[in-house]
Chains A and B, each alone.
Chain A
Amino acid sequence: MLELRLVQGSILKKVLEAIKDLVNDANFDCSATGFSLQAMDSSHVALVALLLRSEGFEHYRCDRNLSMGMSLTNMAKMLKCAGNDDIVTIKADDGSDTITFMFESPTQDKIADFEMKLMDIDSEHLGIPEAEYEAIVRMPSSEFARICKDLGTIGDTVVISVTKEGVKFSTRGDIGTANIVCRQNTSIDKPEEATIIEMQEPVTLTFALRYMNSFAKATPLATQVTISLSSELPVVVEYKIAEMGYVRYYLAPKIEE
């Protein structure tokens, strides 16, 4: 038996919007730790990892570990039917091939339940070791989204370069080139507007902008985004979900042949 009650149901709506374009179908895993997912995009270039910790739910009952295959497109359709202020409860019985989403309005005058069919999904789970990153950039998520969107209109790839001067995002396309430099800005009165760069080594890596723009769909989840870079590793783009966990995206770099 599984029963998870989330008063701030809008978090789940935002999570689905943040991952459904990257991954079509995925297994959600439920354990005492929390509600989680790890899935790769169909071309195995990017990976998304979601964690909603059990402590973040108002009620969390998960009698045994469960893995539930879901179509993210269909799940997003159902969650779109929940109001932004609704309380969302996820329910599943042991051995059932369906999952129920219950939406309660804040005043309890409207209660809806949506039952969705589960599916069998063969998915590969990857072990991601803890790593020391050469550079970690923390910046406003809206600024990062804007940069990826703007550069995406000019080129297909972004070169991210971190030096002690700041972080530079560059692209090149048929019409010309673009460079955007963000310098460290430790805004004390407005921490959500800060740009903080922790650099051990200067690092330069190239990534497909299509994926970065897909990751930026998580912007409504967090005011800040953390970008962790190392020359020999995929980039990690992390959006923390307040009090609950995170959505992390891993993206393999492009290299010059």
Chain B
Amino acid sequence: RSVQLSITGFYRSS
């Protein structure tokens, strides 16, 4: 089963 990662898990709020 594949899970979709979130973009916010990679880049921080600036």
Contacts and interface: CB of A to CB of B under 8 A. Distances in A.
Secondary structure call for the B interface? mixed
B10 A127 contact: no
B14 A252 contact: no
A255 interface: yes
B3 to A, nearest CB: 5
A252 B10 contact: yes
Nearest to A211: B4
Contacts of A44: 6-8
A257 B7 contact: no
Contacts of A250: 7, 11
Contacts of A43: 6
Interface of B: 1-14
Interface of A: 40, 43-47, 124-129, 157, 206, 208, 233-234, 250-257
A134 to B, nearest CB: 15
Given A45-B5, A252-B7, 10 more contacts: A40-B7, A44-B8, A45-B4, A47-B11, A127-B13, A250-B7, A252-B6, A252-B9, A255-B2, A256-B3
24 contacts: A40-B7, A40-B8, A44-B7, A45-B4, A45-B7, A47-B7, A47-B11, A126-B8, A126-B12, A126-B13, A126-B14, A127-B13, A127-B14, A129-B11, A206-B2, A234-B10, A251-B7, A252-B4, A252-B5, A252-B7, A254-B3, A254-B5, A255-B2, A256-B1
